[in-house]
């Protein structure tokens, strides 16, 4: 998600309507990220709204060192993760049953993988899901994830290990045939 | 490394979370071990599945965009109750333009505060009970 330079500059200058345009351009992907972390559509809507309020208040402090979209994603992950932590402290579990089916943009060969993976992700504990989504879907570094989660890089790696292990088990249990691409033996 | 040790690195191997040297050890082991290669394929499948989610987002509720814009505009409107920066600049300019009046008002306030303090001290002193001799 890359925003046009002019729109970013207009937002930073506080031009009327620019922030609204930015919300229009980004709210789908921000909602998508938030939903994958919080695991519940109602909470995701509330958190997404909160993300833009924070962005609106913090726009003056955005120095432009990174892409505006990266900055926005960081706010989204932070806000979503704070929400997950608050729910965990209150003893409220995330409800995977409420995860909506993600509509397919088109039929691709990865469609089945994506559907299966979305369902498997929904069954992970929130902290593991957040770690694996930010790392493997959004390409964040373990260090960045640690900053958002308030955890060390090592702790993030442990969560990633467990999440991937569990996902592999889920896929195996769902009867997915795992292709075994055996490597050729080295000849010396 | 033995297979049990390699197994600990397999989830991170496909996720590219291993140090270069460790990744090389795992790679060398996989080249010669069919069991570990089969185990690694499980994580390959996970990796492919996760990669297929890139750019695939659930459709947000229809009202979400309007709710966000409404909340942001409300938040912006609330900001007007706080003195904005240009208003502070105007205030500073007004003070500088009416320097004499401001200085005389400040002097009067200072004298009044001094007089009030002196009266308070006097009243407090007159109420003090003298110790019996």
CB contacts of A100 in chain B (<8 Å) are 58-59
Res B78: pLDDT: 54
Please report the ipTM that was assigned to this predicted complex. 0.74
Low-confidence ranges of chain A (pLDDT < 50): 97, 104-105, 178-188
Count of C-beta atoms within a 10 Å radius of residue B5: 11
Angle between helices A68-89 and A142-149 (to 10 degrees): 50
Count A/B contacts: CB-CB distance under 8 Å. 153
The DSSP string of A26-54 is: HHHHHHHHHHHHH--HHHHHHHHHHHHHH
Nearest 10 degrees: Cα torsion B66, B72, B75, B76: -120
In a domain, A59, yes or no: yes
Render pLDDT for A57-86 as a digit per residue (tens, 0 to 9).
888 777 777 788 888 999 999 999 899 888
C-alpha distances in Å from residue A116, one per residue of A104, A134, A170, A175: 13, 18, 9, 11
Domain limits at A132?
Answer: 112-177
The chain B residue lying nearest A161, using CA atoms, is B11
**Residue A106 within a domain:** no
- Tell me if A187 is assigned to some domain: no
Q: List all residues of chain A from 44 to 73 with a beta carbon under 8 Å from chain B.
A: 44-45, 48-49, 52-53, 56-57
- Do A71 and A123 share a structural domain? no
A17 shares a domain with A67? yes
Both A8 and A68 in one domain: the answer is yes
Binding-face residues of A in 149-168 toward B, CB within 8 A: 157, 160-161, 164-165, 167-168
Residue B81, pLDDT score: 45
- Which residues, including other chains, have CB under 8 Å from residue A161's CB and lie 6 or more apart? B8, B11, B12
Give the pLDDT score at A84: 87
Quick one: A116 and A85 in the same domain? no
Chain B nearest CA to A131, separation (Å): 12
Provide the CATH number for the domain around residue A30: 1.10.1740.10
Successive 10-residue mean pLDDT values, chain B, 133 residues: 87 82 91 90 87 84 92 71 55 78 91 93 76 61
Cα–Cα dist A123/A167, whole Å = 9
Q: Which residues are CB-neighbours of A145 under 8 A, at least 6 positions away? A: A130, A131, A134, A135, A151, A156
Q: What is the pLDDT of residue A182?
A: 38
* A180/B contact by beta carbon, under 8 A: yes
What CATH code is carried by the domain that includes residue A150? 1.10.10.10
Set of chain B residues whose Cβ sits within 8 Å of the Cβ of A104? 56
Residues A83 and A10 in one domain: yes
Within a domain: A99: no
- Could you tell me if A5 and A39 lie in one domain? yes
> Does residue B31 belong to the interface with chain A, where contact is any CB pair within 8 Å?
yes
Write the DSSP string, A124-178.
S-HHHHHHHIIIIIT---HHHHHHHHT--HHHHHHHHHHHHHHHHHHHHHTTPPP
Is A107 within the bounds of a domain?
no
Note the pLDDT of residue A179: 46
Domain ranges of chain B: 3-51, 81-126
Is there a single domain that holds both residue A1 and residue A84?
Answer: yes
Position A136 in a domain: yes
Kindly state whether residue A25 falls inside one of the protein's structural domains. yes
- Check CB contact under 8 Å for A135 and B17: yes
pLDDT of residue A161: 92
Supply the pLDDT for residue B82. Answer: 46
Quick one: A1 and A79 in the same domain? yes
The pLDDT score that the predictor gives to residue A187 is 40
Number of independent structural domains in chain A: 2
Q: With a CB-CB cutoff of 8 Å, which residues 69-88 of chain A face chain B? A: none
What pLDDT, on a 0 to 100 scale, did the predictor assign at position A99? 53
Contacts of A110 (CB under 8 A, 6+ apart): B48, B49, B51, B52
The reply to whether residue B43 touches residue A31, judged by beta carbons under 8 angstroms, is: no
Instruction: Using the 3D structure, point to which of A56, A90, A124 is the last residue of a domain.
Output: A90
The answer to whether residue A32 neighbours chain B at the CB level (below 8 Å) is: yes
């Amino acid at each position: 998600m890359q925003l046009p330079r002019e729109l970013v500059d207009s937002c930073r200058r506080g031009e009327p309507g620019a922030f609204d345009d930015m919300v229009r351009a980004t709210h789908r992907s921000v909602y998508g990220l938030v939903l994958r972390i919080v695991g519940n559509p109602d909470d995701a809507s509330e958190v997404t709204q909160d993300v833009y309020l924070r962005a609106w208040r913090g726009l003056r402090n955005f120095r432009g060192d990174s892409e505006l979209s990266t900055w926005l994603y960081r706010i989204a992950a932070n806000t979503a993760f704070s929400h997950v932590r608050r729910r965990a402290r209150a003893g409220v579990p995330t409800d995977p049953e409420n995860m909506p089916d993600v509509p397919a943009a088109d039929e691709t060969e990865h469609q089945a993988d994506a559907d299966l993976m979305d369902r498997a992700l929904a069954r992970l504990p929130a902290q593991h899901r957040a770690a694996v989504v930010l790392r493997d879907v959004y390409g964040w570094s373990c260090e960045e994830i640690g900053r958002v989660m308030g955890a060390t890089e090592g702790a993030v790696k442990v969560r990633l290990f467990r999440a991937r292990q569990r996902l592999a088990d889920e896929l195996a249990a769902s009867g997915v045939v795992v292709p075994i691409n055996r490597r050729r033996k080295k000849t010396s | 490394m033995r297979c049990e040790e390699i197994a600990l690195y397999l989830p991170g191997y496909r996720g590219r979370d291993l140090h270069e040297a460790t990744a090389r050890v795992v790679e060398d082991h996989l080249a010669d071990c069919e069991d570990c290669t089969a185990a690694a394929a499980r994580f390959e499948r996970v990796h492919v599945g996760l990669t297929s989610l890139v750019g695939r987002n659930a459709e947000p509720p229809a009202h979400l965009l309007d709710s966000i814009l409404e909340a942001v505009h409300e938040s912006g409107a609330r900001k007007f109750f706080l003195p904005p920066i240009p208003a502070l600049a105007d205030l500073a300019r007004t003070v500088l333009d009416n320097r004499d009046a401001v200085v005389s008002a400040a002097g009067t306030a200072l004298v009044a505060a001094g007089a009030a303090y002196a009266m308070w001290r006097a009243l407090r002193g007159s109420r003090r009970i003298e110790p019996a001799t």
